[in-house]
Each structure stands twice: as C-alpha cells, then as structure tokens.
Amino acid sequence: MTYRALQIEKDDTGYRCTLKTLDDSALPEGDVTVAVDYSTVNYKDGLAITGKSPVVRKFPLTPGIDLAGTVTASQHPLFKAGDAVVLNGWGVGESHSGGLAQKARLKGDWLIHRPGAFSARQAMAIGTAGYTAMLCVMALEKHGVTPEQGEVLVTGAGGGVGSVAIALLAKLGYRVVASTGRLQEAGYLRSLGAADVIDRAELSAPGKPLAKERWAGVVDTVGSHTLANACASTKYGGTVAACGLAQGMDLPATVAPFILRGVTLAGIDSVMAPRALREAAWARLARDLEVGKLDAMTREVGLADAIGLGAQILAGQVRGRVVVDVNR
C-alpha cells in the first residue's frame, strides 16, 4: 500500500521539500492510523517547508502540524475505526511525520474527536491558527477582559490567527482594532468584524517604556517591538495574550507596564496544551465562530501547491486560512 505525501529531506545536496509516493512502511510509530482528508499551512509549516528555521528535527519527515481525517485502525482506548478526528501540534510536522499526506500514524493521546459542528474541511480552515486564536480569547476572558472595558488590539490581523481572533472577538461583542502591514486588506478585516484598522508601523518601531493607555486587551501574533509597544499601551489591569513571533522572538520591553499598570502578559502555547483545554477551545469554536466568516477567510489548494505556500506565508502574502485537500 502507498500514499502521497510531502517529504522534507536534508543531506549533502541541501534542504528540500518534494511531493512523493511513499510505501506504508514509511509511516512512523503510533497507535492510531488516520486517513487524512484535509490539512493546512500554518506559519510553522512555512518554516518547515522552506527550512528558514530549524523546526524540523529529523529527516526525512512529512510536514504538517494539523490534520483532519478518519481513523482506519486504532489500539488506543479512546478511538476506533470510523472516528472523525483532529490533530493540532504535539510536535507533529517537526519531529513526527504530519498531516501534509494522505495517511498519518500518530499517538492517540494527541488526537481529539472532531466536533460535529464542523466538517473535516472546516476543521482545517480553523486549524492550529484558529484554535490558537480561541486560546487567546479564553485567556483574555480568564483575566477579566470584557467588552465594556474598551478596545482589543489584534496584531498580524491578516494572517490566520489574526483573522479568526477578529471574528471571534467581534461575535463576543468586543470592539476590535486590527493592526496590519497590508492596509489594502482593510475591507476584508472589517468584513470579519474589525471596527478599525491601523498600520502596523504604528507599533513595529522601538517605542517608549509606557505609552498612552488604549487597549483593554491584546492578541499578539508578532512579538518583538510590536509586542513591547502593545504592552506599553495597554490599559491599567489589561491583558496581552502573546502567541507568535512573526516580527521576531525578542521582546525589547521594560517591566513598567507590569509593575505600574498591572498589565498581564499571558503566554499562549497551542502545541502541548492538555486534552481538556483543547476540547474546551474546540467547543467554544463550535459555539462562537460564525461559519460564514470562516468560509470568507479560507481558500483551498491541492497537496503539491502547499510547497509554494511555505515561502508565501513567511513573507506575509497569505491572507486568512488555506485548506489543503491532500487527495488532489
């Protein structure tokens, strides 16, 4: 038996990602085998496909940190053949072959049952990006940020996390301000629910330890100076949920916002989050994410097309979400 998959290889001739037909013997160890229906391309997948950052830790390896499909064989007590499942993270696509393939073999502990509210395609339109956005929203709520307290900033707004975060926050009644380097996408961002759109240049340069208070909460996908400035301009008692590093991994900030304004910096990790938190986030997505807005931010490509998307997503050229039909 064979299956089609993207495969990353690294040797004396260089680093490359190609579409291959593999034998089932190439599947890694695991107690659940899944026939994959859809995957997606996230920022981390872009890093893996291009090799721009050493996220892939063994070779050869199939990238893809997300997948949605159907269990074909299981030795795990929570899953049986025919179950619809979703996988996000857990090092899949980094140290364990992932979802940009027609088949995957995984640890059942990494899987959750796909919520009935979503098709496999819709689950991957959400993917790690949308699930991370929901974790950010839940963190703001946990720390007491309410719509009555004022504006919520979303940075990197045109990307996958940003797009879903805008849609979720707007549905929940927050006044959302979207920060983007692509002001030509203002109409798209407003269609998702953004009340205002600002140029990322307002936040991306070195700033002051404290700035004028504006944000009740922040969802930051960017890091570096943008995150530092977001913290500096968050209101007293506000919360900043940090989940990305598109601008950089550094944080050139001071302690001033935290000790003078009581600002909370909440780190959001979607990769190793426990099952209970994952299931809670997906249940909230089923309740709070409007499918029409999800469809508006999504486009579909075939498996081979995912290779070229790696460089595009790193360059900030991908709007919203991209679903990969691994069977075409």
The domain spans of the chain are 2-114+297-325, 127-267
Under the banding of pLDDT at 50, 70 and 90, the label for residue 261 is very high
- Helices 43-50, 306-314: axis angle to 10 degrees equals 110
Bridge partners for 122 per DSSP: none
Q: Which two tokens stand for residue 77?
A: 């007590």
b/e per residue 272-296 (b: at least 16 CB within 10 A): ebeeeebeebbebbeeebeeebbee
> Which of 51, 42, 44, 47 lies closest to 13 in space, CA to CA?
51
Q: What is the pLDDT of residues 227-257, one digit of tens each?
A: 999 999 999 999 999 999 999 999 999 999 9
Query: What CATH superfamily classification does 2-114+297-325 receive?
Result: Medium-chain alcohol dehydrogenases, catalytic domain (3.90.180.10)
E strand or H helix that includes residue 167: helix 160-171
Do the domains 2-114+297-325 and 127-267 sit in the same CATH topology, yes or no? no
11 pLDDT band, cuts 50/70/90, is: very high
Give the residue among 228, 233, 281 at the shortest CA–CA distance from 253: 228
Question: What CATH code is assigned to 127-267?
Answer: 3.40.50.720
- For residue 278, the model assigns a pLDDT of 97
Find, among 131, 117, 161, the residue nearest to 297 by Cα: 161
- Write the pLDDT tens digit of every residue in 31-40: 999 999 999 9
Q: What is the pLDDT of residue 262?
A: 98
Q: Across the chain, what does the average pLDDT equal?
A: 97
CA distances from 212 to 23, 109, 179 (A): 59, 46, 17
Q: Which CA distances in Å does 58 have to 55, 272, 288? A: 9, 19, 38
Q: Rounded mean pLDDT of 213-236? A: 98
Q: Which tokens sit at 21? A: 């037909």
What Rg value do the Cα atoms of the chain yield, rounded? 20
pLDDT, residue 155, reads 98
CB contact at 8 A, 192 and 163 = yes
Residue 120 binned pLDDT confidence (cut-offs 50, 70, 90): very high
**What pLDDT shows up at residue 3?**
98
- Structure confidence by residue, pLDDT tens digits, 57-96: 999 999 999 999 999 999 999 999 999 999 999 999 999 9
pLDDT of residue 280: 98
Of 179, 194, 170, 121, nearest to 316 (Cα)? 179
Q: What is the pLDDT of residues 138-185, one digit of tens each?
A: 999 999 999 999 999 999 999 999 999 999 999 999 999 999 999 999
